[in-house]
Structure formats: structure tokens, C-alpha cells
Amino acid sequence: MATSFTQTGDSPTVSTTDFARGPAASTDSPFDRILVAVGEEVHEHVVEAAVSLAAAHGVPVDALSIVEMNSSIDHWDMVVEQREADAETSLEAVEAMAEDVGVSVAKRLRYGTPAEEISLYAEHNDTDLIVVGEPNRSGIRKFFSPASVADGVNQSASVPVLTVPTPSE
């Protein structure tokens, strides 16, 4: 049994080998639940990777978005409300993409530090795989922003993490 992820051009491709399709095949799957973490911006490549894997293995997806809270803005209701609205929009986009291929989605919104919350959610909800975007940080961007959310999840998660390249901003 093997699963591979490749990206050629603009679309990611997930290939599975030795897995039959259908409900009976899900017992052979290495996954029972896949978590896709999304931010204010939904990168289709990340969601496509998670949804493709979920569809191939007949498992549901948990879509998680974190409203980042820090001491400099916690008391600014308008800023937090905007972040909540952006997170809800991201979760709805994941749900729409998953429904197109018949994958069930549980939308979740949490508050806190993204990497910590993603890892905690995965640990407490029997997640078998975390799918998260990895921004293209090179040159001066890497100097000013040495760690990404994906880096933090990779370091703290107790389950496998699939990082999917996202375009630079």
C-alpha cells in the first residue's frame, strides 16, 4: 500500500496503490480521519490534497481554522470579528470543495496560536494525518519570517503531517 503526492503545474495529484474503492476498503486504509488546516486564505492545492486523500481512502475530513489571538489585538472586537468571518469563509470553501467529490466535512473554528491549536486538535480528535500549507519563503522572507505554521505543526504534532507548497504572497 502506498500513497504519493506530487505537484505538476498548478494542480497537486494524489496517487494511491493497492487500495480498493468503496466502504469495505476503508478498513485497509492507514487513515480514519484527515485534518486540513486553513487560514484566512484558502489555497486550493492544500484542500485538494486533503480531499483527494480522503476520497481515495473513504474517510471524512475535519476542516480547522484558527483565529489567532495575541495580546496586542485581543481586545479589538472588530479585528477579531473580521478574523472570525475570514475563518468561516475559509471553512465554507473547504466544505464546498469536499462536497463536490462526496467527502464529508466537519468544520471547526478555534482560537489561539495556530500551530499549537492544530496539533492539540489532531491529538484530541483521533486524527491520522494533518494537511497544511507551506508558504514559499526564500531569501529575505525567510530571514524575516524564519518559522511558518507548518514548521510549528511539524515540530509539535504527534501524527504525520503533509505539507503542501503554496504560492508566495
Q: Could you state, in order of their start, the residue ranges of all structural domains in the chain?
A: 33-166
- Per-residue pLDDT tens over the stretch 85-97: 999 999 999 999 9
- Choose which CATH entry (3.30.830.10, 1.10.10.10, 2.60.40.1180, 3.40.50.620) describes domain 33-166: 3.40.50.620
Q: What is the pLDDT of residue 19?
A: 33
- Which of 13-17, 93-97, 140-144 tops mean pLDDT? 93-97
- Per-residue pLDDT tens over the stretch 121-133: 999 999 999 999 9
Its pTM stands at 0.76
Report whether 149 contacts 132 (CB < 8 A).
yes
At residue 166 the predicted structure's pLDDT band, cuts being 50, 70 and 90, is confident
